[in-house]
């Protein structure tokens, strides 16, 4: 049965909504129209130019063990949505292109589904979460782009899923929403005021600021990217099946833990080379990709938070950017030499990360190729966002496993640093690669890391 709990405690609801929106201007009593940010324009292009079976979705999936107050949970979600305009946004297409429309704060229904009487409630809960995280959403169709679902598995056992289209939020946004839902929940349960600062800059205001030239790329920035990426060829990895004419988002993944001893040694090596753990990880990925492709010149994408403006540090929205790192494997360098090359490339790129990748693509004048993404076809990312660790007023909070995130790139290497070492995961396009090929690739990646520690000055051969 799917319902929305009756928010009968009107005084408590009113206090929370007032607290969430008290710093908003009177203009937010009506729907407001804004341009798309430069980041959103790129996401709009990716979502409309490539066919797929699922949309890029940012989500929270948490399991709560303990006596959850269902009404308070719904009120907490309402309050966070009232606090962030990005979570109340829809899109419309005009003769001048897409525009975003931010609705006035009005709450977001949290769908309540009780599966406690099912024969396999956990299986059913997984299906209900995967339904949200794997949905194909129509950006211009007027349907919901933000959904909240609370699933009862048992009397004191619930799963909450909060799913947002990526054009409205990024990974840092999910962490922000997670913490604020917990604080609004605590406030609702205890009858006290939430301990949160005034609402940050809204994403619509950020897009308007950006459209007016705020934070824009300088001529020097654009010259750098044109020179840095000019003439780069697409990566041609051997595939197990012919590349289709139109890229899909069919995805699977292989996982490989990297033990604490190896991780600690990698971090020690990075420090000795005046580098970071990410620089070492992406260098090893470049070695594997170069060996497999036979190319000595290609690009790897590297996501960055993109929150270079202090006013948006706590805002929900799409701020993250992707840096195109050009790999130079010419001359059969050693791992140490290649690390030095990529270190310099990364530092230069970070100094120009204010230029959205979509703007760089426009500057390069690249033709649209529906069979592959532009500039880079692989991504390497080291994740630093923490998992559930917020105080839900006495509830035990654990991540609830769901399906694999979709990607439009050929390969995405993710790594998470945890107390037991690194957890590496390789997402791949199942329309191009077989599972056995990817299992071999991620094993080769670990072997490359170990070889780099053992013989960092050995020349790389392909």
Is position 445 within any domain?
Answer: yes
Do 181 and 235 sit in the same domain of this protein? no
Do 121 and 176 sit in the same domain of this protein? yes
pLDDT for res 71: 96
Asked which of 211, 228, 252 is the last residue of a domain, the reply is: 211
Which CATH number does the domain housing residue 398 bear? 3.30.559.30
Do 322 and 426 sit in the same domain of this protein? yes
Do 387 and 413 sit in the same domain of this protein? yes
Model pLDDT for residues 63-99, shown as the tens digit of each residue: 999 999 999 999 999 999 999 999 999 999 999 999 9
Selected residue with higher pLDDT from 257 and 368: 257
Q: Model's pTM, two decimal places?
A: 0.85
Do 182 and 318 sit in the same domain of this protein? no
Burial class (CB in 10 A: 0-12, 13-18, 19+), 271: exposed
Judge whether 269 and 335 are in contact, CB under 8 Å. no
Tokens 């540090």 label which residue? Answer: 313
Do 157 and 236 sit in the same domain of this protein? no
C-alpha pair distances (Å), 172 with each of 162, 307, 313, 315, 424:
14, 9, 9, 9, 20
Instruction: Kindly tell me if the per-residue pLDDT of 386 is higher than 80.
Output: no
Do 280 and 410 sit in the same domain of this protein? yes
Is position 459 within any domain?
Answer: no
Model pLDDT for residues 350-376, shown as the tens digit of each residue: 999 989 898 899 899 888 888 999 999
Do 173 and 273 sit in the same domain of this protein? no
C-alpha to C-alpha distance for 32 and 269, rounded to whole angstroms: 51
Instruction: Kindly tell me if the per-residue pLDDT of 8 is higher than 70.
Output: no
Do 202 and 226 sit in the same domain of this protein? no
Do 281 and 334 sit in the same domain of this protein? yes
What average pLDDT does range 165-172 have in this prediction? 95
Give me the chain's average pLDDT, please. 89
pLDDT band with cut points at 50, 70 and 90 for residue 158: very high
pLDDT for res 67: 95
Give me the sign of the Cα torsion angle 123, 128, 131, 133: negative
Domain of 188 in residue numbering reads as: 2-211
Percent of the chain residues past pLDDT 70, beyond the cut: 91
Is position 116 within any domain?
Answer: yes
| Lowest-pLDDT range of 46-50, 81-85, 377-381, 424-428 | 46-50
Q: How many domains does the chain have?
A: 2
Which CATH number does the domain housing residue 19 bear? 3.30.559.10
Model pLDDT for residues 285-317, shown as the tens digit of each residue: 999 999 999 999 999 999 998 888 899 999 999
Tokens 């605590």 label which residue? Answer: 186
Number of H helices, E strands in the chain: 12, 15
Do 199 and 346 sit in the same domain of this protein? no
């Amino acid at each position: 049965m799917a319902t929305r709990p009756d928010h009968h405690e009107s005084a408590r609801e009113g206090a929370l909504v007032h607290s969430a929106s008290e710093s908003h201007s009177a203009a937010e009593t009506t729907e407001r129209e804004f341009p798309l940010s430069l980041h959103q324009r790129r996401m709009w292009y990716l979502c409309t130019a490539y066919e797929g079976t699922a949309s890029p979705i940012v989500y929270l999936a948490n399991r709560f063990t303990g006596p959850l107050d269902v009404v308070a949970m719904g009120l907490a979600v309402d309050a966070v949505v009232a606090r962030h305009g990005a979570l109340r946004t829809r899109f419309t297409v005009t003769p001048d292109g897409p525009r975003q429309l931010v609705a006035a704060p009005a709450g977001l229904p949290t769908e309540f589904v009780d599966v406690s009487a099912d024969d396999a409630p956990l299986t059913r809960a997984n299906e209900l979460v995967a339904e949200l995280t794997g949905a194909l959403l129509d950006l211009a169709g007027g349907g919901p782009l933000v959904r909240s679902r609370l699933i009862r598995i048992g009397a004191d056992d619930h799963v909450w899923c909060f799913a947002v289209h990526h054009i409205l939020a990024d990974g840092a946004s999910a962490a922000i929403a997670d913490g604020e839902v917990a604080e609004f929940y605590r406030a609702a349960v205890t009858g006290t005021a939430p301990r949160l600062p005034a609402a940050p800059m809204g994403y619509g205001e950020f897009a308007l600021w950006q459209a007016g030239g705020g934070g824009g790329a300088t001529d020097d920035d654009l010259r750098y990217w044109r020179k840095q990426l000019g003439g780069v060829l697409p990566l041609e990895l051997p595939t197990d099946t012919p590349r289709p004419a139109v890229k899909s988002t069919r995805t699977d993944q292989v996982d490989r833990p990297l033990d604490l001893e190896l991780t600690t040694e990698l971090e020690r090596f990075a420090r000795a080379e005046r580098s970071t753990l990410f620089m070492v990880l992406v260098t090893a990925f470049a070695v594997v990709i170069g060996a497999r492709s036979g190319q000595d010149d290609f690009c790897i994408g590297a996501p960055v938070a993109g929150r270079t403006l202090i006013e948006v540090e706590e805002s929900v929205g799409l701020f993250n950017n992707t840096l195109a790192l050009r790999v130079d494997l010419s001359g059969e360098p050693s791992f140490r030499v290649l690390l030095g090359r990529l270190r310099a490339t990364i530092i230069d790129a970070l100094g120009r990360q204010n230029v959205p990748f979509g703007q760089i693509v426009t500057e390069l004048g690249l033709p649209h190729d529906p069979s592959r993404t532009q500039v880079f076809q692989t991504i390497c990312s080291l994740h630093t966002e923490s998992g559930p660790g917020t105080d839900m007023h006495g509830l035990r909070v654990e991540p609830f496993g769901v399906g694999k995130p979709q990607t439009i790139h050929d390969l995405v290497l993710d790594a998470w640093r945890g107390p037991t070492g690194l957890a590496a995961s390789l997402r791949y396009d199942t329309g191009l690669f077989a599972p056995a090929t990817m299992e071999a690739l991620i094993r080769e990646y670990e072997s490359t890391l170990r070889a780099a520690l053992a013989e960092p000055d050995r020349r790389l051969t392909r």
